[in-house]
Structures are given as C-alpha cells and as structure tokens.
Amino acid sequence: MWIELDGLREAAASRQIAALFDADESRAQEFSLKTDGLLFDYSKTSIDADAKEALIRLAEAAGVAAKRTAMFVGEKINVTEDRSVLHTALRNLDDEALVVDGQDVLPEVRETRARMAKLASAVRDGSFPGNGKRITDVVNIGIGGSDLGPLMAVMALEPYADGPKCHFISNVDGADATDTLAGLDPESTLVIVASKTFTTQETLMNARTVLSWAGGQDALGRFVAISSAVDKCAEFGISAERVFGFEDWVGGRYSVWGPIGFSLMLALGPKAFESFLEGGQAMDRHFYDAPFEKNLPVLLALVGIWHQQVCGHATRAVLPYEQRLARLPAYLQQLEMESNGKGVALDGARLDRVAGPVVWGEPGTNGQHAFYQLIHQGQQVVPCEFMVGAEGHEPALGEHHRALVANCLAQSEALLKGRTEAEARAQLEAKGVSGAKLDQLAKHRVFEGNRPSTTLVYPSLTPYVLGQIVAMYEHRVFVEGVIYGINSYDQWGVELGKELANGLVPAMEGKGAPAGSSASTLALLDHILGMRE
C-alpha cells in the first residue's frame, strides 16, 4: 500500500493542485463531505481519485473497521496498559447496556453525571452551602487533559456561560496561581482539584497553595475533587460526596466529557453540557456507521496520512477562524502528539515511517500577521486546516464576521493559486515600477501556491457543534494510530522527565544531585544555586 501511495505522490508532485479543478468541474463536490450540519472540504489538496481510493484501501488493510468496533464495545485496545478505551461511554446518552469485563459500565457513568448535575445546579442557583458566600468564581486546578480540555471548552462556549466565572491553574510556576487568584474572593470561590490518581505533583502542589489562600482546613467545604482515589481525597480533606471519579478506560486527554468537564457544566449548566455530549455522540454514530469514503473522521485522518507519511510534511497548522477557539490548537497538540507521537509499533518494532505530525496554530486573523508569511512563501510546506462558522455570536458586529469569513476563504485560495512572477510584474508595472527595480521587486512578490489546505465549516459554535468537532478529532487520532500500527492511548514519554524531576527537587534544596546526572545538568544546577544565593 505504501509503495503505491509513494508512486501516486510522485505523480502528484508534477502537477498543480489548481489543475485538478481544471480537469474536473465537480472536484469541489467530489472532494468534500456534508454531514449533520458540517462541511469538510479537502479539494484543495493534491489527493486525486486514485490517491483517495488507495488511502481508503490502506485504512481497510490496517483493520480500522474491526478496531473501531473493538473500541466501541470495550475491548482492551490499549494493549500496553491492558485497558479498554471508552471515553465514548462518557457521552453515551442511550439506555442500552455496555458490558466490560462482565459489568455494564453505563449506570455508573449516568449516576456520576447526575451527581455532577445536582452539585452544579446547587452552585449555580446559590443553594450550595459551602462554608462561605454564594459562589461567583471557580478555580480548576489540573494539568494536561485535566486543564486543556475544560479550559478550551469553557473559552469556546463563552456565549452560553451564565454561571460562575471559571479560571484555570495548571503550571507549577507560582506565577500561574498568583496571577489567577489575584482579585478573587476566597469565600465565593469553588475550587476543583482534578487529578485522576490524586498524585499529580504539579496539581497537588497548586492545590495546597490554593487551600492556604482559601483559608486552610476551614475552606475545604468549597473544594471538589475530580479523582478516582477517594481515599487520597479524604486524606486531603475533601469528602466523598464532592469527589467525582472516572475509570481507567478514560485517558486524560479524552476526559472532558465526564467529571473533568465539571467546570464546563458549572459555567453552562447541565442542559447545555448535555448538548455538548449530544454533539459528541452524534459524531460517534457517524464515525461508526458511515462508509470510509463518506466518513468525516476517516477522511480527515487519511488527508493527514497523505500529507505526513506520504508527502513528508512534518507539521500541521490548525487555524480556527473563531477567536473563542484560541485554545483549540493547544488542545489538539496534546490530543495528537501525546497520542501518536510514538517510535515503535504495537509489536515493539521500530516504525519505518514517522508517526504523528507537529501540530500548532493560532486563530485567524491573528496568525495572518504572524506566521502566515512562512506558510505562503517559506520553503517548507505546511498543510493547513482552516475552520470557520457560517455565523458568529455578535449580530451587532456582523461586518466583523463577514470580514473574518472572507479572510479564511481568501487564505486557502491564496495557498492554492499563489502568484506567478508575470502576475507580480504586471501589478508592479500598473503602479509605475519599471526597470531594475521592477526586476528586483517582482521576485519577492511571487507566491508558489500549490500549498494544501482543508476547510471545516460549521453553522455556529454551539455546545453541540463543539462536541462534534472534539469527537471528530478524537476519532481522527484513532484512525491514524491504527494505520501507523501504534497504541494511541498510552503516554510513556511523559514519565521519564517526571522521574528525573523528582530526583532533582532535593538538589534544588542543596541536598546534592542524583547519581548519574550529566555534567551539563550539574553545571546548570550549580549556576542556578549560586544565583539564588
């Protein structure tokens, strides 16, 4: 399969993407997909009919369909940790059973969600007793998926937020806690400590700092824990009725659908939170039922495979033309790079192709005045994934949204078509430039074009639509991982740095560096300690 795709890539390299539109008047329709209000356009890529068919055969040969079924029914596809992968269960709003290891897991999911809704409603209507004033602010303490997911979602759905204001602390840097807590009233602030094992070093350090700020043990009535370690929460002082756990078949970066999303439920209310779950579940059904050629997550994954594994483009820019999706690129960085940033296959053999692109991006139009210069005229090709809503949430500022959409469409058009030297010369000549200056400037105004991009269009950014988008990207990661032949659901690469940091903390107190530390680390440590003195 890969050899065939490599051959198709070589054929594609000799033509312009724009020529595909000249050869096929229906290309825009044939290489786009509409489903449940979403439009995914991948026609501005070098994928032609032959490449699309080969990519679909690649997915079929990799066993995507069978492994998709295995995931949804709870088989332990996370083989290195012997776990199921069932974040989809957190957004399953149906009544049927889902049996894993002989037990239906959905009743507990529903019971936990109901407990969350009851507490969220009490906080929002002012009946939550706590031990202070009515709650006006929420501080979520977490890191990784316990921070990026809820932070991204709360920002994205600000127009629907009619509850307490949510704030987030993640970095162990004391500046994060200091700046976040500044101006907040401890007696009207609810604190969420989000750590599945309740052992995450950064989270617990921040939790102790915030507890001290809130008033010590007397403030624990305003603390909530998102954790499965009820005993450790009790040791900290958080009672069981304010502890919401989730099973080990939910990875942190996939956990915003359950208790980790409690801050989102507090901000929006249980009803809007359920709409977010409904959007995710709708995407689950589409992913499970649709044939590959009409399957949005599958096509999104195959476009990514084509660009990285086949064409060799190392990075992927995610460019939401929606200011409230400002944290979506960072969220997708973790989702993709922690899931698929692997070097060995499931059998331990070294991969012969790089898995997992570098994911980055910023919202438009800000990025246009930052890194788009490199995207348009740099020598490296950066596939771009644009997304934009047909409508915004500020009707009184309609001209802003019209300009936003126009910029989004213009950027993908510019990447496609570029500008030839002849066109650049004609523009300059029209401005009266001639002679040697014309020869000099024209070359600087050439855009090669032929740069690939996709565009996702949604009606407007509602809780339901955000649920669709997040679930779509989750399933994209799954499909890519299956095709790479890796386990997308472990993250051993996170562990080594943590282990070494634990050994170096005493060294920062002058107790000596761990044995085996490199000469560079020892020299840096000595220098830092000297500066502190």
**Residue 513 has what pLDDT?**
85
Q: Is residue 369 among the annotated active site residues?
A: yes
- Among 68-82, 118-132, 203-217, 415-429, whose mean pLDDT is lowest? 118-132
Look-up: residue for tokens 């439920």?
265
The CATH number, out of the four listed (1.10.2020.10, 3.40.50.1970, 3.40.50.10490, 3.40.30.10), of the domain defined by the range 87-275: 3.40.50.10490
Indicate if the pLDDT at residue 527 is higher than 80.
yes
Task: Convert 36-83 into a string of H (helix), E (strand) and C (coil).
Answer: CCEEEECCCCCCCHHHHHHHHHHHHHHCHHHHHHHHHCCCCCECCCCE
Q: Which residues of 385-420 are buried (b: 16+ CB within 10 A; e: fewer)?
A: bbbbbeebbeeeeeeebeebbeebeebbebbbbbbe
Q: Is residue 376 among the annotated active site residues?
A: no
Task: Convert 284-312 into a string of H (helix), E (strand) and C (coil).
Answer: HHHHHHCCHHHCHHHHHHHHHHHHHHHCC
**Residue 189 has what pLDDT?**
97
Q: How confident is the model at residue 499 (pLDDT cuts 50, 70, 90)?
A: confident
**Mean pLDDT over each residue of the chain, to the nearest integer:** 96
Element housing 244 (H / E)? strand 243-244
**Residue 533 has what pLDDT?**
81
In percent, the amount of the chain with pLDDT more than 70 equals 99
Let me know if the fold of 2-61+290-417+451-484 is the same as that of 87-275: yes
Using DSSP bridges, classify how beta strands 453-458 and 38-41 pair: parallel, antiparallel or unpaired: antiparallel
**Residue 198 has what pLDDT?**
94
Mean pLDDT across the stretch 378-385?
97
CATH number of the domain located at residue range(s) 2-61+290-417+451-484 in this protein: 3.40.50.10490
User: How confident is the model over 38-54, as pLDDT tens digits?
Assistant: 999 999 999 999 999 99
Indicate if the pLDDT at residue 502 is higher than 90.
no
- Please count the residues of the chain: 533
Q: How far apart are CA 501 and CA 337, in angstroms?
A: 22
Angle formed at CA 133 by CA 129 and CA 136, multiple of 5 degrees: 100
DSSP-assigned letter for residue 356:
S
Indicate if the pLDDT at residue 1 is higher than 90.
no
> Closest Cα to residue 166, out of 20, 268, 63?
268
**Residue 54 has what pLDDT?**
98
Q: How confident is the model at residue 167 (pLDDT cuts 50, 70, 90)?
A: very high
User: How confident is the model over 243-289, as pLDDT tens digits?
Assistant: 999 999 999 999 999 999 999 999 999 999 999 999 999 999 999 99
Contact (Cβ atoms closer than 8 angstroms) between residue 496 and residue 490: no
Q: List Cα–Cα distances, 248 to 97, 322, 437, 474, 490, in angstroms.
A: 19, 34, 66, 17, 11
- Choice among 202, 247, 338, 385 that is catalytic: 338
Residues 6+ apart with CB under 8 A from 316: 304, 307, 308, 357, 358, 359, 360, 382, 383, 384, 385
Q: Is residue 25 among the annotated active site residues?
A: no
What ranges do the domains of the chain cover?
2-61+290-417+451-484, 87-275, 495-532
Indicate if the pLDDT at residue 131 is higher than 80.
no
Mean pLDDT across the stretch 187-201?
95
**Residue 496 has what pLDDT?**
86
Mean pLDDT across the stretch 162-169?
98
**Residue 509 has what pLDDT?**
86
Q: How far apart are CA 68 and CA 337, in angstroms?
A: 20
User: How confident is the model over 204-237, as pLDDT tens digits?
Assistant: 999 999 999 999 999 999 999 999 999 999 999 9
- Choice among 369, 400, 437, 443 that is catalytic: 369
Instruction: Indicate whether this model's pTM tops 0.85.
Output: yes
> Closest Cα to residue 281, out of 491, 96, 31?
96
Mean pLDDT across the stretch 458-482?
98
- Among 1-5, 105-109, 387-391, 494-498, whose mean pLDDT is lowest? 494-498
Q: How far apart are CA 481 and CA 427, in angstroms?
A: 47
DSSP-assigned letter for residue 360:
E
**Residue 258 has what pLDDT?**
97
